[in-house]
């Protein structure tokens, strides 16, 4: 699908998409059918409700009217709803569309932001999973979207396209079943990205390599599975060789049964999404492959399965991490923090400018925040503020969470340096998990994103988040 610009004075072909507000019909100005459309709106035969699409056949030019609600309430969310509905409604019927965009700029946003969001939301809305279906999703008929505006901005559109492509990569990896998307599959996917783009280099550590490094925490999770674990290290070199890299660490549990602490059977099929952090990191690296920013980024993906077997770790076992810290395993279903502990220690060797780990870490975060914001933890206030600002700018929002020393006592053990769950049942589970990770990120500036509530939405599948937030964060670093 292509995007181009045209001014209001230029002749256009194809259907013209006209946003109509309940209390502002300025977009109708100059249309030959203006009076007729206004009458139909007054008679409530054409809806101005946000996202409602109404075709209007005109002898001069076919029109598509899309409701935008009340102008004073036209927010970022209303824009996204409008674009998503347009993309899905028209994808099988319209080859070329022209959209009046200047009237769609939300308050406190500008035309560049709006163009990026329209492009991103349009393309990401067209994603449809069909890899394991015998009947494939029809290709969208919409080949061209023309932005009608005086404000041409190709860079804004390019950014939106790249983010959408990265989000769709993330969605597809998340939606794949775990018998296909294994740790080996993720490693091959990353290797293909490196093969296609000269800016990337890849190294995949096998279990023997991890054993030699002393990654007892990581390996305690994978030992119950027949699928070999992988530590995938994908490096993007866009900056100077001596420039400190920004490191993204993704939790890649391609299936999480809970291990010996077995999860309930109902809903366990969704545990294929426990590699949402890894998927988001790979999606973000895909964005970098398109935008090619001048900075260095390293992806570290801790990929494994958590399965019950005679070899599996047991509650009460004590393991030694790569850092030398010992860990009492209280619950084998708190496995994500165990693989991340060693991945975070491994990140030290790169002398990073920052490290951000991304993980579907705890169900507790959904209890606390629901499914709208990503939980943001950090050992540095500036990094926390940067991620929150990136989330607000990309409209992939986060919410700050505490890492007070008060919680440290809840992850101490009489039998090891740390325990892998909090000592107070069900209290602050997302926080104590983050506190555990903090113990392995003491040597650099670090943040943790708990995306258990935002990486997927039940039967709707993977969301592609937080690729927009991560992209905006990295691009802001490039601008420094």
CA distance 269 to 196: 33
426 is catalytic: no
70 is catalytic: no
Q: Tell me which of 272, 337, 419, 438 is the catalytic residue.
A: 337
CA distance 332 to 261: 5
Q: Tell me which of 22, 73, 188, 263 is the catalytic residue.
A: 263
Spatial contact of 338 and 220, defined as CB atoms under 8 Å apart = yes
Decide the pairing of beta strands 15-20 and 246-256.
unpaired
CB burial of 124-154 (b: ≥16 within 10 Å; e: otherwise) equals: bbbbbeeeeeeeeeeebebeebbbbbebebe
CA distance 90 to 92: 6
Spatial contact of 81 and 51, defined as CB atoms under 8 Å apart = yes
Q: Is 107 helix (H, G, I), strand (E, B) or coil?
A: coil
Structure tokens at 355: 């490290």
Question: Which residue reads 């494994």 in tokens?
Answer: 304
Spatial contact of 396 and 283, defined as CB atoms under 8 Å apart = no
CA separation (Å) from 179 to 120, 182, 197, 220? Answer: 30, 6, 28, 21
Positions marked active-site: 263, 337
């Amino acid at each position: 699908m292509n995007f181009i610009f045209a001014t209001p004075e230029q002749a256009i072909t194809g259907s013209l998409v006209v946003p109509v507000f309940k209390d502002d019909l300025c977009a109708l100005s100059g249309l030959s059918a203006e009076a007729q459309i206004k009458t139909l709106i007054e008679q409530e035969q054409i809806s101005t409700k946000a996202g409602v699409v109404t075709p209007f056949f005109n002898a001069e030019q076919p029109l598509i009217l899309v409701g935008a609600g009340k102008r004073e309430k036209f927010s970022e969310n209303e824009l996204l709803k409008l674009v998503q509905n347009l993309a899905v409604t028209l994808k099988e019927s319209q080859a070329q569309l022209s959209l009046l965009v200047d009237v769609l700029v939300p308050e406190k946003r500008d035309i560049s932001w709006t163009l990026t969001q329209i492009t991103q939301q349009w393309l990401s809305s067209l994603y449809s999973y069909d890899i394991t279906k015998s009947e494939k999703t029809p290709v969208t008929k919409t080949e061209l979207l023309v932005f009608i505006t005086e404000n041409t901005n190709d860079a804004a559109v390019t950014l939106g396209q790249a983010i959408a492509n990265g989000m769709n990569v993330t969605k597809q990896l998340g939606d794949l079943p775990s018998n296909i998307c294994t740790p080996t599959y993720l490693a091959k996917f990353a290797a293909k990205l490196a093969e296609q783009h000269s800016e990337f280099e890849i190294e995949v550590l096998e279990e023997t390599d991890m054993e030699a490094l002393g990654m007892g925490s990581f390996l305690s999770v994978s030992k119950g599975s027949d699928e070999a674990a992988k530590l995938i290290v994908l490096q993007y070199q866009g900056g100077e060789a001596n420039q400190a890299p920004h490191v993204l660490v993704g939790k890649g549990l391609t299936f999480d049964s809970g291990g010996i602490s077995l999860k309930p059977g109902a809903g366990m099929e969704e545990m294929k999404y426990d590699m949402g952090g890894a998927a988001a990191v790979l999606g973000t690296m895909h964005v970098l492959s398109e935008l090619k920013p001048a900075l260095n980024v390293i992806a570290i993906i801790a990929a494994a399965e958590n399965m019950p077997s005679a070899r599996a770790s047991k509650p009460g076992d004590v393991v030694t991490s790569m850092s030398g810290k010992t860990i009492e395993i209280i619950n084998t279903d708190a496995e994500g923090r165990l693989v991340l502990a060693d991945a975070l220690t491994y990140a030290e060797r790169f002398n990073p400018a920052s490290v951000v780990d991304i993980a579907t870490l705890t169900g507790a975060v959904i209890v606390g925040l629901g499914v709208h914001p990503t939980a943001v933890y950090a050992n540095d206030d500036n990094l926390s503020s940067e991620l929150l600002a990136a989330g607000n700018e990309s409209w992939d929002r986060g919410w700050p969470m505490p890492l007070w020393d008060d919680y440290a006592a809840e992850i101490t053990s009489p039998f090891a340096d740390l325990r892998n769950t909090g000592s107070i049942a069900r209290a602050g589970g997302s926080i104590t998990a983050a506190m555990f990770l903090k113990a392995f990120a003491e040597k650099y500036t670090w943040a943790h994103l708990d995306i258990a509530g935002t990486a997927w939405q039940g039967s709707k599948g993977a969301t592609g988040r937080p690729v927009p937030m991560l992209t905006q964060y990295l691009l802001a670093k490039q601008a420094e």
